[in-house]
Each structure stands twice: as C-alpha cells, then as structure tokens.
A and B are shown apart, each in its own frame.
Chain A
Amino acid sequence: MDRAMEPRDRAGVSPLSSFDGGQTAEVLDRSSADGHQSLPTAPPVTGDEAGGSPGTAWLTPWVLMLPALLLFFLLFVLPQARLLGYSFEPDPQSAATGLTLENYGRLFGDMHYLGILGRTLWMGLLVTVITLVLGYPMAYWLARLETRWKTVLLVLTIFPLLTSAVVRSFGWMVLLYRTGVVNQSLQRLGIVDAPLPLMYTLSGVVIALAEVLMPFMVLTLYGVIRGIDRNLEEAAMDLGAGPLSTIYRVTLPLSAGGVLAGSLLVFSLAISSFVTPSLVGGPRVQLMATAIQEQTVSLLNWQFAATLSAVLLAVVLVLALAYSRLVERSGDRSAVVPV
C-alpha cells in the first residue's frame, strides 16, 4: 500500500494525542483568523500615535460619547427633573407660590390616593406571582426542549408582543364580558350559576395583564435556565434527588437571578401599565396610571399628576436597587464553576 514506513521508538506520539493536537490547532487557527479581521479596524487610540499631546488621551471616550450623553440629557434627565420639579409646585387653583410638599401631603394623607397606590402595588404583585408560577414551568420546558420545533415555539412565545396591547386588551374584553366566552362557558359547564364579574374589576385587569406580560417573564427565565449546566441536574438525580427535588434544590436556586429579574421587569411594567387597566378595568378600577391620566387630561392638575408619577418612579427605583443588591449577593455564590 504505502511505501513509507514509520517505525517509532518507545513512548512515541500516540495517534490520540496527535488527534487532540489537531483540534487545538484548529481552534488556534480560528482565533488567529479573528485576530486578522479585527487588527486593521483597531483605531490608533493613544495620544502619542495620533500626534496629539499624551495628556488629552483620556478625553477621547468622552468626546465619542458626547452625542449619546447629549440626547440622554435632553430627552431623559431634563424631563425627569422637570417632572420632579412640578411635583413640588403648589396646586394651580391655589394662590400659593414657591416650592411646597403639599402634593405629597395630599397623596399620603388621603385614603383615596393611598388606596390607589396600594391597589396598584397589590395588582403588580398578583400579576408577577401569576406570570412567575405559570411562566417558570413553561420557560423550563422550552429551555430543556430538544427539537427543531423549538424556534417555532420561542417565536410563538414572543408573538403576543408583536400585537398592540390595545388589540389584546380588546380581545380580553370580548372574553371577559358578562356575556363573554369565559362566562358563557363557565355557566354552560355548570361551574358557576351567575356570570362572574370579570370586566371592570381588578380580577379582570390582573388576568389580562398577566397574559400581556407573560412573554417578558418567560423569555427572561428561559435565558437563565438555559444557562444552567444540565450536568448539575443530572448530578442531583444521580445522587438520589427526584425530579421535583432536583428543580427545588438545584434549578430553582441557580435561576434565582432570572426569577428576580423577570419579576422586577413584570412588576414594573404592570404597575405602570395604562392601556390594559383603562380598557379592561375602566373608570371603576382606579390605578396609578389611570389616576395620572385623569389628573393630566381631565383635571389639568399637572402638579399632582407629577407627584403620582414621582411616587411610582420611586417604587420602581427602590425595587431595582434592592434587586441589584440581591443579585450581587447571590452572584458571589452561584458563579458558574469554570470548566
């Protein structure tokens, strides 16, 4: 066959190690190819090479960021500051001038507005819990699925986000009316005698919002659960933990970051949502967003509307800060073992 022969001395190179070597070389090749691509695009950033004095090199990133910073300032910082400013201005119908805390006094001193705030937070909590409880198994199932239909299923998960919240809320109205599909089905099946009051109630708002916000929870959890090494679950089972015990002791703790992130996202979106509460809840279910709209558009009391907005913003900020603290703490422990 082959005329060449290759007698090797003892402890010569095994076929195996040369195979491994081949793999390594391939990886190296790929990285060096990347290096070639990125080299010419790397800009000469040091001041010396650019001909400028070395002392101004630190300025470069700031100059590059300037347009973005300017936009950020004009479109975010300034309006927010203006909003906060409004909340410290007196009621337009009173003759008082200067800065005042009376708007905040009115909000926290009036059971009506405290009720709206409490109801909003309660609604946000309910929506978060429902999306978490229903979304976690779904996200887990999607993350562990091994089929070519996976992409289709993921797109289906995101699909609701592609239709406007207005359309979806109208859909829920059709379902939730006294004579809607849900009530008719329940009555025909004999589960309830009289139609359930779902439209224009907090329950209806919670049901509709849970559906509207479900993709945010599922997608957040999906990403985190997919990042958990399957071997960890296998190791748990191998050591005698059943499927539920494995999820409770391994998967759930390791996806805590995702649970927190998804919950924060859904909660923030729920308490600040406007379209669904105003369509499904109507004027009978007063929530923060609808109250702000009423103050702004109907009562023209921008000062009080700003106060309500500032309180809502503060709630979200406090939660976001608490979240980042929690993630930092859990991050210390659950950093993935280097492989």
Chain B
Amino acid sequence: MLGDSRTEGAELVLDQLRKAYDRTLAVEDVGLQVRRGELVSLLGPSGCGKTTTLRMIAGFVEPTSGSIWIRGRDVTRLEPYKRDTAMVFQNYALFPHLTVFDNVAFGLRRRRMPSPNIRSRVGEMLELLELGGLERRYPRQLSGGQQQRVAVARALVVSPSVMLLDEPLSNLDAKLRAGTRVELRRLQQELGLTAIFVTHDQEEAMAISDRIVVMNRGRIEQVGSARDVYLAPATQFVANFIGASNTFSGTVAGAEGDSVVLHTPMGTLRGPRAGSANKTPAADAPASLIVRPEEIRVSSPDVETGLDTNVVRGVVQVSSYLGATVDLSVRGATARSFSRAEPIMLLACTRSEPTSACAGL
C-alpha cells in the first residue's frame, strides 16, 4: 500500500508494477513518480516493456501485481474508459468512418458536453494544431503529418490528467519528425501537460523529455535527465544504448580515489568509477571503460602528447566522412594484419566532470 506522502504532488505513480505473460515477465518491478507538467520518456529497445507499461497506465493491460495511481486515486483495476488518460497511438488509430471534427469531438461527446461547447472546444483545438479548414475531411484524405496532429488534438481536447504517447513520431518522415518533436514539446509545456512518451529513439527521448526512464528486459535501468543518462550512465546497458560509445574491456589494475586503472589489450587506461559501483573494485576483476566519441582526440603518432596513460595506438581501417563528423574504425596496435595502413595515435582524454564510465565487476 502507498502512503499519502508518496502520492502527494505526483500526477502519476507506478508502484512495483509487474506484468507476467504465461512464463515470460514483460514488466518487472517498475516504480516511477511523475510530477504535474512533466514529460517523462520510456526509452528502450523493442521488447523492453515500455509499451506494456504504457498500456497498463491506459488500462488496456491489467498488471499482474503492483499499482497505478493517477492524481492520488488508485486506478489499477479501473476500466480504460473510466481513467483520465488519453493516448496518441503509434498508427494514430483515427476513426476512418468519422470526419476530423467528429474524431476530435469523440471524447467530448462521450463526456456528454453540450454541443455548442463541443463546437467551440474542437474549433480551438484544431486551430491550435493548425488543422483549421480540415474539419470535414476524412482521415484518409489527410497527409501523415496532419493525421498525427488530429490524433494529438483528439487526445488533448479531453484535457487528460496524463497524456500517453506511444511512439507518435515514428510514422513521420525524418524531416517532419524533428519539427513535430519541437512542436509537441512546446505544446506540452504551454499547456502544462503531464505526459508519458514511449520511444525507442534515444535522440528523440533526449530532445523532448524532462526525465528519461531507460528500460531493458522489463526493468528500469536508470531514471534521469538526458544529461544524467548520457554523462553518468548507471549501467553498462545505458552507456551502450544512449549515444555512441567505445568500450575497452580489461581487468582492474588498481584504484586511486575515484578513478580506476585498467589493463586492456590496448594499453593501460584510467577512468572515473561509475556511479553505481560504490565499492572499490577488486584487482584483476574484469571491467570495461566506456568512452564517448567526443572525448577522444585523434592525432598522428609522432606528436608528443606528454601523457603516459589513456594513449592508444592503432591503425585506421575505415574512415567515413559524415559532414560534421568523421567515423573511424580503428584496430588496436597489437593487431598486425593492417600494417600497410597509416598508423595513428588515439588519445582518450577525461574532463573535470565524470564524462566516461567504468562499469562492470
């Protein structure tokens, strides 16, 4: 049971939420508190339980155990149509037999709002989403972007306590997606909406969210701001899933204060200890150093760096020019098969704040 202190101030509370199908556990012990006006993303690869969690909040999936609270009310066993949530579906799920107006008015009519009020409210909402003049169109007569905005309008118009967005941008083309993302965020902040946003796109999650919940195999790996999950990943999964990273595996050579020294096939490397590993790692224990690409400097081998650690020599295998950046595939110095290629030196630098992680053990 939940005390009042835990539900107070939180618009949505998930407590020890768990969903089991036959023998597989889709969602395991998911706990989360979402404040009013906050946009929280559930981020993870497909099958990580993010959509199941969203559908449990909406009421389409009944949790095996645990509870869901919306505005201090236990809604765990409440039917979807009695919950104060509104969902934007991945395929929009617009009613094909109804016009844009009737689609948006659907929720208001079910709430028995008088029809003059419905007309003005729907009109406002269509204006807000730049859908004015399309009232009498049917969904199939709209472009993908317009359909998406109708789906958002249909959910927004009922002023839900919690708005649920199930990959609402994934069916838009890449150009439209970035713009719509910003628009959605602006709308959410302007209206002070509480929203849960499910996505498998880490860039999308980072761009739009107040907080990100990184999920994997039905469990929460980390909850934090975009900055938190990128700069201080709690687990190796988060480090690999969020952003590009380079993993150097080896064994622990020793620890000095907050930093750990690793022996790797590429040489001796030093990095800060990951936030979750509080105890000092034992010597010779397997560990990996994860370095963000932007923390790596590349130079030719004859440059004097003045550094004794975090210098790795290697051979460029593939160099891909991508405009703003260059992707390099490099084989470590100990691999001799690429001797004909030009040898270079990589320097893995660390800044003052913890920018890379040493996880494992």
Q: Residues of A with Cβ closer than 8 Å to B? A: 1-16, 19, 229, 231-232, 234-242, 245-246, 249-250, 253-254, 330, 333-339
Contacts and interface: CB of A to CB of B under 8 A. Distances in A.
Given A12-B244, A238-B87, 19 more contacts: A3-B265, A4-B330, A4-B335, A5-B247, A5-B314, A5-B331, A6-B329, A6-B330, A7-B328, A9-B327, A10-B293, A12-B322, A14-B244, A238-B59, A239-B86, A240-B111, A241-B81, A337-B91, A338-B140
Interface in B40-60: 45, 58-60
B248 interface: yes
B93 A333 contact: no
Contacts of B246: 5-8
A122 B85 CA distance: 48
A236 B95 contact: yes
Interface stretch (B28-36, B117-125, B197-205, B221-229): B197-205
The 3 tightest CB contacts between A and B, nearest first, are: A239-B107, A240-B110, A231-B93
B209 interface: no
A333 B96 contact: yes
Contacts of B201: 16
A10 B111 contact: no
B327 A12 contact: yes
B203 A14 contact: yes
Contacts of B106: 236, 239, 241, 249
A237 B80 CA distance: 6
B284 interface: no
Contacts of A235: 87, 89, 93-95, 154
B325 A242 contact: no
Contacts of B155: 239
B267 to A, nearest CB: 11
Interface in B120-162: 138-140, 147, 154-155, 158
B52 to A, nearest CB: 14
Interface string B309-329: 000101000000010111111
Contacts of A241: 81, 106, 110
Interface in B10-24: none
Nearest to B139: A337
B95 A5 contact: no
B115 interface: no
A227 to B, nearest CB: 12
B79 interface: yes
Contacts of A336: 96, 140
A14 B243 contact: yes
A253 B98 CA distance: 10
A9 B246 CA distance: 10
Contacts of A11: 244, 322, 324-325
Given A10-B324, A232-B93, A334-B96, A2 B243 contact: no
B266 interface: yes
26 contacts: A1-B249, A3-B335, A4-B335, A5-B312, A6-B246, A8-B293, A9-B325, A9-B327, A9-B328, A16-B45, A16-B201, A16-B241, A234-B58, A234-B80, A238-B85, A238-B86, A238-B87, A239-B86, A239-B107, A240-B81, A254-B96, A333-B138, A334-B97, A336-B96, A337-B92, A337-B139
A254 B85 CA distance: 25
B288 to A, nearest CB: 8
A6 to B, nearest CB: 5
B332 interface: yes
A239 B244 contact: no
Given A2-B249, A4-B335, A15 B241 contact: yes
Interface in B198-244: 200-203, 240-241, 243-244
A182 to B, nearest CB: 40
A236 B106 CA distance: 8
Nearest to A12: B244
Contacts, number: 155
Nearest to B293: A8
Nearest to A240: B110
Contacts of B80: 234, 237-238
A238 B332 contact: no
B120 to A, nearest CB: 19
B293 A9 contact: yes
A13 B95 CA distance: 37
A237 B111 CA distance: 12
B189 interface: no
A14 B293 CA distance: 11
B244 A242 contact: no
B334 interface: yes
Nearest to B203: A14
A3 B200 CA distance: 30
B89 A8 contact: no
B294 interface: yes
A239 B293 contact: no
A16 B202 contact: yes
B44 to A, nearest CB: 10
A5 B96 contact: no
A9 B158 CA distance: 45
B184 interface: no
B325 A232 contact: no
B309 to A, nearest CB: 16
Contacts of B87: 234-235, 238
B200 A16 contact: yes
Contacts of B154: 235, 239
A239 B111 CA distance: 9
A337 B96 contact: yes
B110 A337 contact: no
B171 interface: yes
B296 interface: yes
A284 to B, nearest CB: 46
A1 B278 CA distance: 24
Contacts of B244: 8, 10-15
B291 to A, nearest CB: 7
B255 interface: no
A334 B60 CA distance: 25
Contacts of A239: 81, 86, 106-107, 110, 154-155, 158
B241 to A, nearest CB: 7
Contacts of B94: 235, 337
